[in-house]
């Protein structure tokens, strides 16, 4: 028995070593081949779980951008291959898949992360592993890290227009409902700032964990406070029930709503028109943008994904455009290597994209872009007002990557 | 004054919701002594049954009040016949089996429906109370809860099945000696408990929306209510619901939903410290 197991172990070791050597060779060969053949990028998005409504359109957008670039001949003569990871709305999967993308797939860039919490999990991992990172969600501002580019809009671009516009339209008393994590808390603080600066008053402020579904007593509190309108920073599937309960109480006809997040998960298609009519939005992109670039984009997109595709969301467009920014950086650098691409992107790349002129601000690695106010009517969004080329002033107030290239902070901007 | 009315109304709704989501467990756990950790998943299945039926064009009232309990009740009978009946009198094994069942049901629902929030809009519009507006659906939940409890009480008190079920749970051997088939009584009673859970899931669906994992949000509250209620299943469930629901709602109104939930749990701990047998272990001992 002992002999036997000894022999077994020895043979096992031999075969094992042989197999390992074989595998090693194969993988080295495979990698060398892949490097010649394609440029790899990875997407890490929540395609299932509570945030899937936001993640799926982003995945379609990145798929579409990669296909378009490949059909046009690829980058530097190579095709782009997209590696997709579904992070399942599970915070543990973000660092794990970030590591896999960086170490196993050796991608040139990672695109993704939806909530700010997930970004702050991915960012240090990708920085440590020297892998370029694009974060394409509107967020609270303040990230200062040379390894990341943020293409989403920040409060100085969004709330600075959205809050005063709504106050002019409806009145000066605001009740804020927000998700209870960094994005919701900080966005509520910015809302307070722009409200008081414009002579308004916050009459109530409530925060909800992402799994809260019962808003009954909150709806009574709102009625008691009698605001002129609601400012909503609600996030995810569970919070959707607020819109249902609000309408069920008949309040949708009494107090109007402005929302920072409505439509990023195509909610206007899931909820009924009565539940969403009149909600005031503020984004970089709406499908209704009347520009040749956008019309051409929508034609191509609907050919690929069908004429009945629900809606190209803000986050989807930011994701699509971020791939083009990255591709422009790669072209300019002549390589997909990280540092040359970062330097090329910092040289002030500016593109005409479906959402209008879109430029990288070298000082903050955020973007300068047009901002639009829209309003939902029967599942369509009409554009009411446009503001051209808004700077990410919140982040540029605290972050200067030209002066401090080694900065690696998430500044919580004092509001 | 209006505010007081509206707030007590909200509290009443919270009490009714808590009583509804607990009543199925009160029968399965309180009466049959089966620790059913898949209770939350029964509610989840009821919610999906209501949503699927409504989206298939069935009237929403029929979907929530009829389709949900029937579908989940049948599933309950099947589960009792295939799993639970081998485990009576073995609480630890039952716990493991129903926990496994709960994971299985979550997995199945995720495969079939996807891990997305599904919802239907609440029917019935809104009511005006002074300066305030409330959802008429809240009133309907209260009415349904009262009707369900009245019906259960009547069935157990006045019908032949109720008498047989109560006697079988008290002493199955004696019931068998008197010509009752305990196995069938267990199956039917488990089915009734599951059906009531399904009904609650269907009724709650328009308010909360449904995801495959929503059961986790319910199961703890249901157990706390049933255990806090004590041995008399109906009076216990009602009194515990009144206490916990009111505390949750009042604290939520005064602070935030998170603190409201914390207050509910603190109340449960304090209650069980001073009344380990639950509310009806000390008061209303002779109630049903």
Q: Is B257 close to A52, i.e. CB distance below 8 A? A: no
Q: Between chain A and chain B, how many beta carbons pairs sit less than 8 Å apart?
A: 112
The predicted model gives A358-363 an average pLDDT of 94
| Model pLDDT for residues B177-228, shown as the tens digit of each residue | 888 888 888 899 999 999 999 999 999 988 888 888 888 888 988 999 999 8
Write down the pLDDT at residue A12.
45
Mean pLDDT score, A217-244: 89
Whole-structure pTM value: 0.80
Checking if the pLDDT of A107 tops 70, the result is yes
Residue to test with chain A: of B114, B209, B214, B217, most A Cβ within 10 A: B209
**What is the DSSP secondary-structure string of B93-116?**
HHHHHHHHHHHHHHHHHHHHH-SS
Beta strand pairing status for A280-283 and A366-377? Answer: antiparallel
Mean pLDDT of the region B125-141: 82
For residue range A241-286, list pLDDT tens digits in order: 899 889 888 888 899 999 999 998 888 888 888 889 999 999 999 9
State how far the Cα of A137 lies from the Cα of A153, in Å rounded to an integer.
7
pLDDT value of position A337:
94
Radius of gyration of the CA atoms of chain A, in A = 24
Q: Which residues of B touch A49 (CB under 8 A)?
A: 115
Whether the pLDDT of residue A312 is over 90: the answer is: yes
Cβ atoms of residues B36 and B28 within 8 Å = yes
pLDDT attached to residue A22: 44
What are the pLDDT digits (tens) for A283-306? 999 999 999 999 999 999 999 999
SS3 B189: helix
Per-residue tokens: B228: 């806090």
Q: Determine whether the interchain pair B126/A250 forms a contact, defined as Cβ–Cβ distance below 8 Å.
A: yes
pLDDT at position B131 is 74
Residue A197 banded pLDDT, cuts 50, 70, 90: very high
* B264: three-class secondary structure by DSSP: helix
Q: What pLDDT does A211 receive?
A: 78
Average pLDDT over residues B128-144: 84
> What's the rounded mean pLDDT across residues A20-48?
65
Query: Could B119 and A240 be called an inter-chain contact, meaning their C-beta atoms sit closer than 8 Å?
Result: yes
Split at pLDDT 50, 70, 90, the class of B287 is: low
The answer to whether the Cβ–Cβ distance between A52 and B211 falls below 8 Å is no
What element of type H or E holds B24?
helix B2-25
CB–CB of B119 and A209 under 8 A?
A: no
Query: Is residue B253 classed exposed, middle or buried when 0-12, 13-18 and 19+ CB atoms within 10 A define those classes?
Result: buried
Decide if pLDDT at B23 tops 70. yes
A245 touches chain B (CB under 8 A): yes
Q: Which residues of chain B make contact with A211, given a CB cutoff of 8 A?
A: 217
A223/A64: higher pLDDT: A64
pLDDT of residue A10: 46
**How confident is the model at residue A1, as a pLDDT?**
38
CA distance B116 to chain A (A): 6
Q: Which residues pair with A387 in a beta bridge?
A: A371
Among B8, B113, B133, pick the best mutation site for testing chain A contact (most A Cβ within 10 A). Answer: B133
Residues from chain A that touch B112, judged by Cβ atoms under 8 A, are none
Q: What is the mean pLDDT of chain A?
A: 88
Alpha carbon A247 to chain centroid distance? 29
Which contiguous run of DSSP H or E holds residue A384? strand A380-390
CB contact under 8 A, B134 and A220: yes
Q: How far apart are CA A89 and CA A52, in angstroms?
A: 7
Q: What strands lie across the sheet with A132-135, from one edge to the other?
A: A79-86, A38-45, A109-112, A132-135, A148-150
More confident residue, A118 or B172: A118
């Amino acid at each position: 028995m002992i002999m036997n197991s000894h022999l077994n172990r020895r043979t096992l070791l031999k075969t094992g070593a042989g197999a390992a050597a074989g595998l090693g060779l194969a993988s080295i060969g495979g990698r060398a081949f892949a490097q010649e053949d394609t440029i790899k990028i990875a997407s890490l998005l929540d395609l299932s779980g509570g945030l899937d409504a936001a993640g799926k359109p982003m995945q379609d957008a990145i798929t579409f951008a990669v296909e378009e670039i490949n059909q046009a001949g690829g980058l530097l003569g190579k095709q782009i291959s997209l590696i997709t990871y579904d992070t399942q709305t599970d915070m543990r999967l973000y660092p794990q898949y970030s590591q896999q993308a960086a170490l196993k797939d050796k991608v040139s860039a990672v695109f993704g992360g939806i909530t700010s919490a997930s970004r702050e999990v991915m960012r240090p991992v990708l920085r440590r592993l020297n892998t370029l990172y694009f974060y394409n969600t509107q967020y609270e501002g303040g990230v200062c890290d040379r390894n990341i580019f943020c293409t989403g809009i920040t409060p100085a671009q969004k709330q600075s227009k959205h809050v005063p516009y709504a106050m002019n339209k409806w009145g000066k008393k605001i009740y804020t409902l927000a998700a209870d994590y960094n994005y919701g808390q900080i966005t509520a603080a910015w809302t307070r700032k722009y409200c008081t600066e414009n002579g308004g008053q916050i009459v109530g402020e409530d925060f909800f964990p992402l799994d809260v579904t019962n808003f009954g007593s909150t709806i009574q509190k709102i009625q008691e406070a009698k605001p002129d309108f609601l400012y909503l920073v609600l996030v995810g599937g569970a919070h959707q029930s607020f819109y249902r309960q609000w309408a069920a109480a008949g309040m949708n006809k009494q107090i109007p709503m402005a929302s920072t997040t409505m439509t990023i998960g195509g909610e206007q298609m899931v909820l009924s028109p009565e539940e969403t009519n009149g909600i005031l939005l503020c984004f970089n992109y709406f499908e209704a943008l009347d520009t040749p670039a956008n019309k051409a984009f929508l034609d191509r997109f609907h050919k690929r994904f069908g004429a009945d595709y629900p809606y190209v969301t803000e986050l989807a467009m930011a994701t699509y455009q971020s791939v083009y920014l990255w591709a422009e950086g790669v072209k300019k650098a002549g390589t997909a290597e990280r540092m040359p691409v970062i330097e090329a992107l910092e040289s002030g790349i500016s593109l005409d994209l479906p959402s209008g002129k879109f430029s990288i601000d070298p000082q903050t690695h955020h973007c300068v872009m047009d901002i639009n106010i829209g309003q939902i009517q029967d599942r369509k969004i009409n554009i009411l007002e446009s503001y051209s080329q808004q700077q990410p002033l919140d982040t540029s107030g605290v972050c200067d990557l030209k002066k401090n290239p080694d900065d690696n902070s998430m500044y919580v901007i004092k509001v | 004054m209006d505010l007081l009315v509206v707030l007590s109304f909200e509290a009443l709704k919270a009490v009714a919701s808590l009583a509804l989501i607990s009543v199925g467990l009160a029968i399965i756990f309180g009466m049959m002594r089966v620790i059913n950790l898949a209770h939350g998943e029964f509610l989840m299945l009821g919610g999906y049954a209501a949503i699927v039926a409504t989206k298939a064009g069935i009237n929403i009232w029929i979907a929530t009040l009829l389709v949900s309990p029937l579908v989940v009740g049948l599933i309950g009978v099947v589960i009792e016949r295939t799993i639970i009946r081998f485990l009576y009198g073995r609480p630890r094994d039952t716990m493991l089996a129903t926990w496994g069942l709960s994971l299985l049901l979550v997995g199945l629902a995720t495969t079939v429906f996807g891990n997305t929030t599904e919802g239907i809009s609440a029917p019935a519009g809104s009511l005006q109370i002074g300066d305030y507006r409330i959802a008429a659906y809240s009133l309907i939940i209260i009415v349904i809860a009262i009707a369900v409890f009245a019906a259960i009480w009547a069935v157990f008190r006045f019908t032949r099945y109720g008498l047989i079920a109560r006697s079988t749970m008290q002493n199955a051997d004696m019931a068998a000696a008197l010509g009752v088939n305990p196995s069938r009584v267990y199956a039917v009673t488990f089915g009734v408990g599951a059906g009531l859970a399904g009904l609650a899931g269907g009724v709650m669906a328009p308010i909360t929306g449904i995801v495959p994992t929503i059961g986790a949000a319910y199961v703890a509250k249901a157990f706390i209510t049933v255990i806090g209620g004590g041995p008399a299943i109906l009076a216990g469930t009602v009194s515990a619901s009144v206490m916990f629901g009111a505390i949750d709602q009042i604290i939520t109104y005064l602070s935030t939903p998170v603190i409201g939930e914390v207050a509910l749990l603190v109340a449960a701990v304090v209650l069980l410290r001073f009344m380990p047998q639950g509310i009806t272990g000390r008061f209303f001992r002779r109630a049903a």
